[in-house]
Structure 1
């Protein structure tokens, strides 16, 4: 009999069996890449690698890490797709990987990919608390692979499914809130800032936030890491039983929290993940922040082998109390958003956590200004609306300086874009218009 919350027998495998499963699948991926994909044929030849040398997951270290810029260069040289990393070109579905610097890579997934993606998506949502029977409402930007996975999920589950495709812009909150009120979903999957857009829309209609989320048992949030304090805030604000964090990328990362809530378990059908030194790509101990590097475990579509996703994250040491063998990760933010002030470096997530722990400012909307970093200072633009700015104004600057050990400048603004709430951006003042 399966343990409560487990999707199938794989969730109860010993870790050694999961590693053997991954080793077999990656060996097949490497065989495909070595024999038929020009991009990897060149890379393997450069380092003298043959799939016959791959006997365990540790042997991935024999291969170089591929960065996004190298794929963009391959696209520039080819002048078109495919670029030499894809297997299967007939009856494909397309999605987009959109970089933080505005570059775009198209990904094509053939029909053979669908069975794996369906199984992975079902497992991920089961871990997040989705169950057959009750209505569900999930959303994703239409260009993302998650939108494709949701379509497969809706077809596979014996449940009424409402799927919102398109955009997370706050201006559409009224339509999504109307759908939530009409269908009363038990499971809700949303982009983190959009949760706050729904709360604002509910209040505009004279509803309490808990009324807007009435009947929702599990709220899965994506798009940004959540701090422990923000999780508690969301539960108190919405009245849902459980807030679940999930993370993923079109290239193949997928990780979801279990019921214990101590890190996000890697969904085993998708990718093996390493967290490596961000400068050298050497191995680092679990618990230390580094670059997130993935290797796909399915042999169809675009194959990403030791691919640096552009994220920074932490692998959790040891086994999870839930009993699942899959390793746990916390994706902390984009590498391009790493803030450097003097000898210190940190992410917007760290600043958000510092606000919460230093002065109890939970769920604040703020941005980090690049101009301050250039002057050796952490310059924050913080929204006054919704908080008692007078109570924290006098102590926020010093509290953050003590907590982060860097010079801090705090600037207050009457209001800031709702889309920044929970996902603080790193921007230049010129990008803010008249603010």
Structure 2
């Protein structure tokens, strides 16, 4: 049952609840999941040894490779017949990762997402336009069940078919929208192409996730659509969307649903915890999952935890926006670079459109970065031509290269292309083209 008051629990009561639920989960996995029994025994730890939340550091980590090695149902803590739903990754690097949900898991997930929507500014009486993709990806159905649980009038349009999406927004007049930021930006651009003003729709707030996006992207979405844009985070291995979300009041840090998930941040090299405010790798332990409980899952996502509570009154820990993924990080001449840092530069430049791609390739033993960015419509002349020989074009290219060098502390190759030349997203945008392991599949994981 949806209980918004739990988000304001005092910390002592919340931590006591976490410890109780953690103990139940550890007994569950030790008794029912051979992988965890073997991992705990190897680490010389039993469920009853975990007497405080700090003791969780004694438990072994779970990695994505462990999910693949136990494909399809080896990490389930229930008989497969008790799982009422399965979700899975795309499996582009081999076997997909499969997760399952009992009826209670679905009910808990619906409650989590319902209160996430409220945190973002949603209300039960709203019409809610859900443009996340449906299917094995958790985004569409995750927001779907949460919106219905809240009592909203849901429009389950899924992704793609942009003209129809725009018509539905105009006719059904939703107050809220959910989708990937790149696709909703595509909706706004389509409206402009049709001579319509995206700011004049009924939309007041948007819940965006499933791909990394920057503060500059937030500003662009808010300016183009006249709404409040909040970030939602989740991943199928832990639950799906709703693991954390920004509040509309502050838009500064994502509130973790700590009654269902225990969050840590570790140094990805030493595997030791880092203090609040320091960036490291997010690690999650599920506290209430029945079908697929996961212990100390290394997400590969880089973020930090805020040391202080939010002014909105919620007491649950806040995590920062995702800075990047470990497998997307590029080391160029000893410097760590995340694609999100490149986006921040490109989207703050007035002569560039919001569309770009980052190409990563290897020359010898060194990674190299090439950036392809669209210029704005200002470079198209009255006859529809695109002039790359103008002084302004050369000036913009020089400025972008200079700004990237200052932000990243390395030089990058920059190629500016004409407006509307890069592909538009029908779901998740392909921002990073990793050519270092061209025949080994993609590095990005299915997440929201």
Question: Scaled by the length of structure 1, what TM-score is found?
Answer: 0.87
Task: Measure, in 1, the Cα distance between the counterparts of 2:118 and 2:148.
Answer: 15
Does 2:201 align with 1:209? Answer: no
Task: Measure, in 1, the Cα distance between the counterparts of 2:111 and 2:185.
Answer: 31
What's 1:273 paired with? 263
Task: Measure, in 1, the Cα distance between the counterparts of 2:137 and 2:256.
Answer: 19
SS at 2:131's partner residue? strand
What's 1:290 paired with? 280
Equivalences for 1:7-406 in 2 at 5 Å?
8-75=4-71, 81-91=72-82, 92-98=84-90, 101=93, 103-142=95-134, 143-165=136-158, 168-169=159-160, 172-211=161-200, 214-240=201-227, 242-252=228-238, 254-258=243-247, 259-329=249-319, 330-356=321-347, 359=349, 364-371=354-361, 375=366, 377-386=368-377, 390=393, 391-406=395-410
Task: Measure, in 2, the Cα distance between the counterparts of 1:89 and 1:51.
Answer: 24
Aligned length: 413
Task: Measure, in 2, the Cα distance between the counterparts of 1:153 and 1:233.
Answer: 27
Residue by residue, what CA displacement relative to the aligned partner does 1:312-332 show, whole Å, maximum 9, x if unpaired? 222222211222111111222
CA contact (8 A) 1:366 1:382 kept: yes
Task: Measure, in 2, the Cα distance between the counterparts of 1:421 and 1:105.
Answer: 19
What's 1:78 paired with? none
SS at 1:364's partner residue? strand
Indicate the RMSD between aligned Cα atoms, in angstroms: 2.5
Task: Measure, in 1, the Cα distance between the counterparts of 2:378 and 2:14.
Answer: 47
Deviation at 1:376, TM superposition (A): 5.1
SS at 1:368's partner residue? strand
Deviation at 1:68, TM superposition (A): 0.6
Q: Relative to 1, partners in 2 of residues 1:373 and 1:318: Cα closer, same or farther, differing over 3 Å?
A: farther
Question: Scaled by the length of structure 2, what TM-score is found?
Answer: 0.85
Task: Measure, in 2, the Cα distance between the counterparts of 1:97 and 1:421.
Answer: 14
Deviation at 1:411, TM superposition (A): 1.3
Q: Relative to 1, partners in 2 of residues 1:421 and 1:160: Cα closer, same or farther, differing over 3 Å?
A: closer
Deviation at 1:292, TM superposition (A): 1.5
SS at 2:323's partner residue? strand
Deviation at 1:422, TM superposition (A): 7.1
Q: Relative to 1, partners in 2 of residues 1:66 and 1:385: Cα closer, same or farther, differing over 3 Å?
A: same
CA contact (8 A) 2:230 2:251 kept: yes
CA contact (8 A) 2:113 2:143 kept: yes
Task: Measure, in 1, the Cα distance between the counterparts of 2:367 and 2:104.
Answer: 51
Task: Measure, in 2, the Cα distance between the counterparts of 1:101 and 1:331.
Answer: 23
Q: Relative to 1, partners in 2 of residues 1:430 and 1:41: Cα closer, same or farther, differing over 3 Å?
A: closer
Deviation at 1:149, TM superposition (A): 2.8
Which has the larger displacement, 400-409 or 43-52? 400-409
CA contact (8 A) 2:211 2:428 kept: no
Deviation at 1:198, TM superposition (A): 0.5
Residue by residue, what CA displacement relative to the aligned partner does 1:83-141 show, whole Å, maximum 9, x if unpaired? 13432422521111346746511212122212211211111111011101121112322
CA contact (8 A) 1:49 1:63 kept: yes
Does 2:445 align with 1:425? Answer: no
Q: Is the helix fraction higher in 1 or 2?
A: 1
| Gaps in structure 1 of 5+ consecutive residues | 1-5, 76-80
Task: Measure, in 2, the Cα distance between the counterparts of 1:38 and 1:376.
Answer: 40
Deviation at 1:47, TM superposition (A): 0.7
Task: Measure, in 1, the Cα distance between the counterparts of 2:94 and 2:70.
Answer: 17
